A and B are shown apart, each in its own frame.
Chain A
Amino acid sequence: MWRKVKAADFLKSNLNRVFVRNAAKTAFETETDAGDKRSEPVQRDASAPSIENPLKHKDYFNVHKLFTIKDLFDARVHYGHKEGTLNEHMLPYIFGSRLGVTIIDLNQTALRLREALNFIAHVSFRDGIILFINANRQTSHIVEKTAMECGQYSHCRKFNKMTFLNTTKYFGAITRLPDVCVFLSTHNNVFEEHAAISAAACVLIPTVAIVDSNSDPTIITYPIPGNDDTPCAIELYCKLFKEAIILGRKKREEMLQKYGTIPMDIES
């Protein structure tokens, strides 16, 4: 056991920009650890005060209050690309084409964004690792700053598929992968699909992504139609993701202080 912990410390000190955090938590290697942690709510005393289960609420973290459609409009989220570059799978999210430029339907953006923010807040509530991914150099600094501010991780450099698919070899130790990947843009720097999207799907990591009119939304778990090129739009998304993460974490801390445990299953 101590060797694993050592490896974790080693990685922590050497790869702090990468998302590796806690090797001891890896699923199949340390079954006992994970088992102990997850079975907490089941073991608790029946006479203890009943805890509200966030999974039973429609919007436990109140993420719908974080933004309005007017905010999206002001941040120029509705601008898509030229009609010719449109991905067919994006058609249901498109309001129409104004003189050859596609315009994204903000009603749908708001729905999907709220769905995604709720998911992120829940993962944050469960102490999950959230990894922000963005290959657009113009907006990378915003994304990296956001990740730092909310105590999560970012990957805004050249992405190697082995980062997800062959971790033990790539990092030299057992690695905990992120629990959600948030893509601020689904393209790499030559307008191909970002390699991390299919890699994340391979290793069972859900993805949240801003999909512009020229992106492929099919394999993304929670796609959010919206402009992914304008810095002010990226700033808005980053702000919202950050707030959702902080909301989730705050609720977690509150609950831990009050009850000493948090409900992890639907039934509890």
Chain B
Amino acid sequence: MAGSRLEKYGTIFSRVQGLLRTGAMKPQNKPLWFDVYECFPPHIEPKRLLPVPDAPLRSILYDEDVIRAKFYKDFGSPGLIDLLDRNKKCISKRFLEKYKELNGGLDFDEHVYKRTVDEINAGSGSVKELKVAAEREAEIKMQEESEEFDEK
């Protein structure tokens, strides 16, 4: 094929355009994609020597992260958490819901945190029971999965 193979300089489009302009490539021989590219050009010119974009990399953090971290530090994790299961809420999520109910928001407050722990302990189930229940769920789930695996 006629054409410059210097892929570092210029895009495939600009190189074909040059060939067409000078007549090195006849219009009927232009590549099949040329018109499509002309009508729907990519958002950035695909060139090797592009300047490095000046975009910051921010960290994704939420207010609730602080509460979650403290919760897991104090009470530990039940172990297995299935992220693909959208129907079940993990224990920290249930704790956060209570916290939000009391505080209105999710910004960290030591007093509200303690109150949430007390409320849960005084209510239907203590925080430890929450944890035990979650552990049991996880165990059952693991057993079921291993049984399924054995059957296979």
Chain A residues in the interface with B (C-beta under 8 A): 27-28, 31, 34-35, 38-39, 55-56, 83, 86, 88-89, 91-92, 94-99, 102-103, 111-112, 115, 118-119, 122-123, 126-128, 165, 179-180, 198, 201-207, 218-223, 264-266
Contact = CB atoms under 8 A, between A and B. Distances in A.
B152 interface: no
A31 B28 contact: yes
Contact of A95 (B35, B53, B60): B60
Contacts, number: 119
Contact of A89 (B43, B50, B59): B50
Contacts of A28: 1-2, 29
Interface of B: 1-3, 5, 7, 11-12, 15-16, 26, 28-29, 31-33, 35-40, 42-43, 46-50, 52-53, 55-60
B50 A266 contact: no
A222 B42 contact: yes
| 7 A-B pairs closest in CB distance | A201-B7, A96-B60, A91-B55, A122-B36, A35-B28, A98-B60, A202-B5
B72 to A, nearest CB: 13
Nearest to A120: B36
Given A97-B59, A198-B7, A219-B47, A206 B28 contact: no
Given A123-B36, A128-B32, 18 more contacts: A31-B29, A89-B50, A91-B55, A94-B57, A95-B60, A97-B58, A115-B40, A119-B33, A119-B36, A123-B32, A123-B33, A179-B32, A201-B7, A201-B12, A204-B31, A206-B33, A219-B47, A219-B48
A201 B39 CA distance: 20
